[in-house]
Structures are given as structure tokens and as C-alpha cells.
Structure 1
Amino acid sequence: MARYIRAFIEDSPENEGDEVLLAKDEGSHLSRVLRIQQGDAVELLDGKGGRFASKCLEVDRNQVRVGISKIEKVAPCKTQTRMAIALGKGNKWEEIIRPLTELGINRLTPLKTERTEGAFSGVKLKDKKERWIKIAREASKQSGNAWLPVFDSPIDFQELIKSPEAGEERWMASLTSGMRTESMGKEANLLSIFIGPEGGWSEREEAQAKEVGLSFLSLGPYTLRLETATVSALAVARQLLLC
């Protein structure tokens, strides 16, 4: 299997032949960890659909300069996917960012539910989002996904379901009821999948979801960990959307 060396960039080059000096952390990783050499191929990603083939021109201890040889714009999926996921204890919410980014999630929304077991103060939100973006970038480089997910601020479940977006289709993963359908999301601009806490949705939350028209999605008869439920639901959606 070919070895892919990837790096993340903030500013997208506009022309073939442009030279790019990688950020210090990216250059340090390539030079010290991956032992990149002059002439090695590097694939650059900007998280906004840009994929840039390049060749290493200069390697220093903390600095790598590359030359752009090809510019590619990866089209987004016709149906964008969002997962609204209940916050969990410890680092569980952070742990699911990597696999979901590898699978191509477009948007992640932390949910506060009646049985939510994890939370954090608004003061820490900025630091948390920076951490989430860092994890997503690493997953993007590992997988080659050219699109980084957008991270929303935490929101109450009841508040989120009140106001669907234009062209949005909404599914709620549930053990008590649900179905799988091959038409899932195919006519939607945005497919939102709601994943509850490990203690499950409350009866009131499921009743509220039915009242506002959410469809129910079955992930099988077994109680799943938060990480398993999120990855399983997105994998089903991506397969059905063929994107």
C-alpha cells in the first residue's frame, strides 16, 4: 500500500507552482516524526474541500516548504450529514470525533438531554472547540477526507428539535421503536441523526420527537455504547446516500 504523507494548511494555494511554508507544528511533525525528505510527495488539505498535490522543496528541523503541482476541489455530498449527539462522561464525546470525521460527517452538535451525564461550562467551550478541531484535522490527514466538520455549541434537545432547517430530514436512533429505510435522506439537503445518552432517551423526549415529526431509526435490539451507536448510524446513512 502506498504511503500517504498529508499535512493541513490554513490558506489555500491558488495556482500550480505556488510555494507553501507549512505551519510550525505541521512542519515539525513531517520532519521529525515522518522523516520527510526533499523530493517527497505531500498531499495538502484545507478542510474546505481543497486537496493539493505537492512536492517537498526544503526540510529544516521545524520547517517544511512545498511546491504545489496539482489543485483539486472535492465536491461536497449532495446531502449534508449532521449528528446531534448527547454529551457523555469523560472524553467520550471527543473520542467519537475521529471516526465520524473519517466517515465524512459534515456537522456535529453536542446535545444536552434529560439523562446527559457529561457537561462543561461555557468558559471552557472555546478551548473545547479548539481541541475538537485539532482531532478532526488529524482524522482528516489520516483518512484523506478533504472536508472538516463544523462544530456547534451545546444545545438542549428540546430547543434543537423546535426549529428544523430548510430541506432537513431528521432521524432519531431508538431502541423502543424505529425502522431502517432505503429512502433515508436521499431527497434532503441536510440529514440530521439524533443519538441519545447511554441511559437512553426519556419517554418524554421520544414523545416530543414524535410530536415535531422526527422519524425513528433502529440500530438493532441491543444497547449500544455511545461510540458504537454514532459510528453505526453514520455508516448506515453514508451507505444509503452513496457519498
Structure 2
Amino acid sequence: MESDVTTTLSELERKLKELERELESVGRGGELDAEPAQAGWTPPPDPSAGPPPPGATPLTAVWHGGATPPSGPPPVADEPVRVVPPPAPRIVAQPHAAASPPPPPPPPPASAAEPGGLHEQLDELIAFRDRLVRTTDELVGELSRVLDELGVVAPPPPPPDPALTPLSGDVVVEAAAFDLATLASLEQALRAVGGAAHAHVRALDDGVAYLDVRLSAPLPLGAALRAAWPVPFAVTGAGDGRLAIAPA
């Protein structure tokens, strides 16, 4: 039964297409040679179409199939199936790991101005001076031996510089032939020497100023004063708590 209906519908569709071609040829030529069709189904007139225009030949559609024409409206095609795409995967941004904090800065170096560090530096300077004096004496002795072998009389070695004599405790500085302004700057320079607890002018006698200085550690005061005081001077004596200086 289903195959007959399918065959009938196919035949009906073919006949309708032929009818459309005939209608197109009538519109172009004004005539239509229509042979009597086989007995079959005649579609009912459409009341909404209205009467044909004057002068037009009415056409009648004839069913050419051999079976009974189908009744009722044509079959309705199945509703298309909506294909819903799957939802896109959700991407969640992962937060970056927190950066590690920078390492703490290194501790500042110990200040060299601490009393302990200053004493150690002074001890190293005194030990270096002792090594230098010992090395100088050895060189002078070796030079004298060589000159004696050669028959040459060596000159006597120069006396040691009194400015390198270490002093400690309470020291009296004797400054000769300096004016008052120079003595004031000398007092300030003695106070600036490392290891000097205090320094002040005690007396003036016949152009010689006496300054009292207290040292907290053994120190070659003459050499330290040369580094702290820009005025040129000569050390004329040092030892036993006394340092004598004069203009150079």
C-alpha cells in the first residue's frame, strides 16, 4: 500500500511539472494544444482565485494517474532536528604563584671607628714599625760587613726618626717658635689624633708652648701629628712622656 502511494505521488509530481511547462508555453504563444487526458482526478476550483480575465481560455488540470488521487492535504515534511553544539570547555585562569621575597640585605660591616678596632690598628702599626726597624738594622749591618771586606769605611747610619717613638699615657708637647694662631690649630690637630683623649695648652714660657695630651693607647704621636696637622714641623725629641717640635 505504501509503495502504491509513493508511486502515485511521483506520477502526480511529474504531471504537475508537465502542466507547468504547458502553461509557460501558452503564455509565450497564446495557444495551448491540449489532448484529452485519460480519465482521472480533476482538482476542485479555487474559490479565492476569482473568475478568469476576459479573453482567456480556462484550463483544466486533469489527473493522469491510474489510481485514485490522494485526498486531503499533501504530507508535511518532518520538522528538522535542531543540533545543539556541546558547550565550550570552561577555562579557568590559574593565578601565578607568588614571587618569593628577596633575600634580606647583608649586615653592614663593622665600623672601623670602634675603640676595639682602633686599638688593634694601632697595635698593628707599632708591630710593623718594629719589623721595619729590625729589617733596616739587618740591612745596615750586612752593608757594613761587605764594605769592611772591601776595605771601604761605611758612613754611620742615620739616627732613627724620633717621630716614630711610641708614647703613651700623659704626654707633654713642647712647641717652640709658633705664633698664637698656629698654636690654636696645633691644639685642634692634637684633639683630632686618634687615641688622644684630650689636649689643651697649659702654659707659654719664652716662646715655647706646653700642651698636655692624654693618650688612651701607645701611639707614635709625632707621626700621627704629621698626618693630622698641615703645618710642616720637625720632631726634635721624643720619649719619657715628652714630644718636642719646632717649625721646619
The answer, yes or no, to whether TM exceeds 0.5 is no
* More helix by percentage: 2
Greater CA radius of gyration, 1 or 2?
2
* More strand by percentage: 1
| TM-score (structure 2 length as normaliser) | 0.20
| TM-score (structure 1 length as normaliser) | 0.21
